[in-house]
Amino acid sequence: MGENMKRVKQYADEVGGHAYNPWKNDPFDFDLGMKRNERWINNMMKEGREIIDIGPDFSRRSLGREPSPFYNMERSQVKGYENYKKVFERDGRLSGGVPGLDR
């Protein structure tokens, strides 16, 4: 999981993992998208899967963009989950990333 799906998919490909592939949602319905994302995370936890957090998209944050509500929801959802793993490093409030992926 992470704030930018392009980064999430790239990281998943590199480590042999799986990334959420959203169903068609056109025109975009925010609430439906959140429910589907939440359900997917819940299913992964029920299956005992490792959930790897690649962190915020610091380039997004450095441009002053708001944090992703999807990523915020995911982070809340996995609190206390025993198979959660954080792989990003934070160099400050607006900088950091995953070694080998972002820098």
pLDDT in tens, 15-63: 999 888 888 899 999 999 999 999 999 999 999 999 999 999 988 888 8
What pLDDT was estimated at residue 61? 80
* pTM beyond 0.85, yes or no: yes
What pLDDT was estimated at residue 50? 96
Give residue limits of the domains in the chain.
5-97
- Counting every residue written for the chain, the total comes to 103
Structure tokens at 100: 């080998």
> Above 80 in pLDDT, residue 103?
no
> Above 70 in pLDDT, residue 10?
yes
Q: Which of 57, 44, 42 is nearest to 8 (CA)?
A: 57
What rounded mean pLDDT belongs to the chain? 91
